[in-house]
Amino acid sequence: MVGKKIKLNALQTKTLALFQELAKSEETSARIEGSKDISIMFIPRPHGNHVHIGKFVVSAKDASGLANEIVWKVLERKGLAKSEFPYRIILTEAGLSFKTGYHDEFEVSDH
């Protein structure tokens, strides 16, 4: 993938951004020994019309890719993750550093 721009649709990009947030917390993830990859073992489920991801609250619609096997497989095919759907996803170094542009759009939770 060196030199080739990775293209993702909006759902795939939002999902990757949410996985990147989950990768920041020791409550939801762990570094893979001997690599820069991070395993995300706890994926929150929506309650009502939203889901809590780290310090953010995200609409259930925007977080729907967290439970979508096809999205996980696309991220894997693009070299951004390793899918073990539905149990865990491992973000690769490329997935962790990918600029999604969505982090500024997430709303900080008030509860």
pLDDT tens, position by position, 42-85? 999 999 999 999 889 999 999 999 999 999 999 999 999 999 99
Pairing status of strand 29-31 against strand 38-40: antiparallel
- CA gap 45, 42 in Å, rounded: 9
- CA gap 15, 11 in Å, rounded: 6
Q: pTM above the 0.75 mark?
A: yes
**For the chain, what percent of residues have pLDDT higher than 90?**
84
Domain architecture of the chain: domains with CATH: 10-108 (1.10.10)
